[in-house]
Structure 1
Amino acid sequence: MNMSGSILVVDDKKEFLDSMRLILGGRFQIDTAQNGREAIERIKQKRYDVAVVDIVLPDFLGTDLLDRIKQISPLTEVIMITGYPSIPTARYSLKRGAFDYLERPISNETLMERIEEALRRKEERLREDQEMKRLLAENRQLRSRLLAMREQLFQVKRTHSMKIAEALLGLIGIKDEDVKLHLMSVRKFTDPIGELYGFPKEVKLDLEMAAELHDIGKLYISRSILKKSGPLNDEEWKEIREHPVIGAEIVREIWENENAATIVLYHHERIDGRGYPEGLSGEDIPLLARIIAVTDAFHAMTSKRAYRDALPVEMAVRELEINKGTQFDPDVVEAFMGVLNRLGLK
């Protein structure tokens, strides 16, 4: 088989190197080195197809030189040769990436055959390497297109979500402008708290829209109850406690977003299990619902209501602190305190 390639022969015996030039020079491009340091310098300057390396060198163990060659030029095939055969050394060499391990005396035909076989393997590995690079490039391009498509779909979803929220806010505003303003205000807390938690943008969108729609179920609550200046009676409380269930159904049916519907459904649950509509407790309450519970309560306390004046921010913060672990998730309260600091409200 007529093959050509660049060969580096490393041996401390000048006579052997001269013979290799005569035997191999007519078929291959031959360079030689008499020690490990010289070999390393040559490999740094030129990438060889095959290196023929003696196990015993004046300054290096051949196995150490094998490691250095593979570090510098991983595709170079290395044939180890020795006059002192050792099974452990042979195993180590092959394990570390040597192509072959030959014992002296070596016939010219055997050496030529092994070099040609090493060149064939080098070409195969090169083709495999090029194919892998091509596949990786195609994968990067495909991933880039998929990410672009995902971004487009997200923007469509976001636009669609905002239109739905705008329409529903318009309806609740007709019934009760205070509820509308409350929903819009609670939404403003979701972006900084979503950033603090490191939520992906899809989760942040669900949180944002759920915040803006968490009281949308009040569309079906009597206006007289919403505007009542005195305490609610049992029947009125029963009706008001229906608004998370109604709101979740509205979000589920109109927006078709189960995650956001779940947030709306559970935003009045309490950590101690005394909330509504299902009396969930602790981590059984979804995290996003626990977040809305805190932001909702804070804005409600700091807003004027028909039955009371707005509380000062300091007092509202105090109420959140007092009710950590009973009404509110302590970790969420702490995170919300950080948001208030960032917004300059605390």
Structure 2
Amino acid sequence: MEDRATVLVVDDELGSRESLRFTLKPSFDVYTSEDGEQALRFIQQKPVDIVTLDLRMPGIPGIEVLKGIKKIDPDIEVIIITAYATVDSCLEAIRWGVFNYITKPFHPIDVISTIKKSVEKRRQTKTLKTFIKKIAATESHLDHRIMQFAQHKFVKSSNSQMDFVRVLVATIERRDPYTWGHSQRVSQQSFLLAERLHLSGEERAQIQLAAYLHDIGKIGLNDTYIYKRGSLTKLEWTMMKKHPEMAVELLSPLALSPSTISIIRHHHEHFDGKGYPDGLRGKEIPLGARIVGICDAYDAMISDRPYRKALSKSQSISELKRCSGLQFDPEVTGVFMEVLEDER
């Protein structure tokens, strides 16, 4: 049985503070602070998993408290519960890694559900980071020796880096029935497309690896966004678009090649410059990222998602053609059509 998570409630209003404490104490170890300065002192003295944070308080503003928390321990999940949310404060909070926003008056069920999800995210992130650090400590030449640890830990018959990555990604994807197998399919098609484009063996291997890892940053996202059946709000979409950067940060201990990391970071850039995270356009986007991007989009189209049913193959191909020159590289799109034709 897992230990109860520790939640620190930070709110200057006694009523809100006690309401949250009463709501959460059956499931969590709950402490309270009436201002930001007191909260930061507490976090420096006692391990904390989750913080619920009001924005408008006397003394240190809530956003500054958030920054202070993340500087003390970046893995503490912070949920802002406030009646004074603005677009600017939301964007600033996102930049500092807030888990979610809840507006007052809050519903207890929503608060409990959000905190449970944040606890799960924190545990997954800590487990993965610990695992990665153990791998990183195993060998100095990590790119060539990573599987020695993976063999011992997971799959004794494996002898390649890709086997470890497959296990890692499959473990993460098991939590989402809609994306189960997505990374494997994207990796396979990216490899075929890279092969058709006559890239070198080293380039194909980097693309295949990056394609497997392209969505790993979503482990740091609230499941509410991933499983939402309707359209994402502007705030939710802003948070969703952080996952390539979160992936790069999460994978930093692995010392992957710069090319592999660049593909992961830029696989959502658009050929017309309207993608993310950096707004690259045309050939500024690494070729590997252009390859993974179109394979990722195609697999998403032909798969069921919480917000829509899968498109047919012909519908998906029509959409790829429509977006050629906008979202996708026209040359890469044309060659990908050949790959898809061969699959028929």
Instruction: Report the TM-score, using the length of structure 2 for normalisation.
Output: 0.53
Give me the whole-angstrom Cα distance separating, in 2, the residues matched to 1:293 and 1:279: 14
Q: Aligned pair 1:253/2:253, yes or no?
A: yes
Which structure would you say has the larger Rg? 1
Cα pair 1:187 1:211 within 8 Å, conserved: yes
Which residues in structure 2 correspond to 1:102-113 (within 5 Å)?
A: none
State how far apart, in whole Å, the 2-side matches of 1:196 and 1:251 are: 29
Aligned to 1:184: 184
Moved more, 161-170 or 290-299: 161-170
1:277 and 2:277 correspond: yes
Kindly state the Cα deviation for residue 181 of structure 1 after the two structures are TM-superposed: 1.5
Name the structure 1 match of 2:227.
227
Q: CA RMSD in A?
A: 2.2
The one-letter amino acid of 1:209's match is: L
Bigger CA drift: 250-259 or 298-307?
A: 250-259
3-state secondary structure, aligned to 1:178: coil
Map of 1:130-209 to 2, 5 A cutoff? 159-209=159-209
1:162/1:330 CA distance change after superposition, 3 Å? same
Structure 2 residue identity aligned to 1:261: I
User: Which residue of 2 is the match for residue 308 of structure 1?
Assistant: 308
Deviations, residues 166-189 of structure 1 (Å, cap 9, x unaligned): 242133124324334111111120
Q: Which has the higher contact order (CA 8 A, sep 6+)?
A: 2
Change (3 A) 1:220 1:171: farther
Q: Per-residue deviation at 1:159? A: 4.1
Q: How does 1:62-101 map to 2 (within 5 A)?
A: none
Q: Please say if residues 251 and 257 of structure 1, whose CA atoms lie closer than 8 Å, have aligned partners that are also in contact.
A: no
Structure 2 portions without partners, runs of 5+: 1-143, 149-157
Partner of 2:49: none
List 4+ stretches of structure 1 deviating above 3 A: 153-160
Matched residues in 1 for 2:170 and 2:147: separation?
A: 21
Structure 2 equivalent of residue 238 of structure 1: 238
> Is the CA contact 1:154–1:202 (under 8 Å) kept in the aligned structure 2?
no
Alpha carbons of structure 1 residues 228 and 156: separation in structure 2 relative to 1, 3 Å: closer
Aligned with 1:209: secondary structure? helix
Is the CA contact (8 Å cut-off) linking 1:172 and 1:179 kept in structure 2?
no
One-letter amino acid of the structure 2 residue matched with residue 193 of structure 1: L
Cα shift readout 1:275-317 (whole Å, capped 9, x = no counterpart): 0001111110001101111111111011111100000111111
Report if aligned partners of 2:178, 2:303 keep a CA contact under 8 Å in 1: no
Change in Cα spacing, 1:180 to 1:237, as seen in structure 2 (3 Å) is: same
TM-score, length-normalised on structure 1?
Answer: 0.52
Distance 1:154 1:172 in 2: 22
How many matched pairs?
Answer: 192
Aligned-partner Cα distance in 1 for 2:294–2:241: 17
**Cα deviation code 1:117-146 (max 9, x no counterpart):** xxxxxxxxxxxxxxxxxxxxxxxxxxxxxx
C-alpha distance after superposition, 1:32-51 (max 9, x if no partner):
xxxxxxxxxxxxxxxxxxxx
User: Displacement of 1:255 after TM fit?
Assistant: 5.2
In structure 1, runs of 5+ residues without a counterpart are 1-152
Question: What amino acid maps onto 2:260 in structure 1?
Answer: A
Structure 2 letter corresponding to 1:168: L
Whole-Å separation in 1 of the counterparts to 2:307 and 2:336:
26
Identity %, equivalent residues: 33
Mapped to 2, the partners of 1:185 and 1:280 lie a distance apart of 25
| Superposed CA offset, 1:33-80 (max 9, x none) | xxxxxxxxxxxxxxxxxxxxxxxxxxxxxxxxxxxxxxxxxxxxxxxx
Measured after TM superposition, the shift of residue 156 of structure 1 is 7.4
After superposition, give the CA deviation of every residue in 1:14-34 in whole Å (9 maximum; x if it has no partner). Answer: xxxxxxxxxxxxxxxxxxxxx
Provide the C-alpha distance between the structure 1 equivalents of 2:222 and 2:178, rounded to a whole number of angstroms: 14
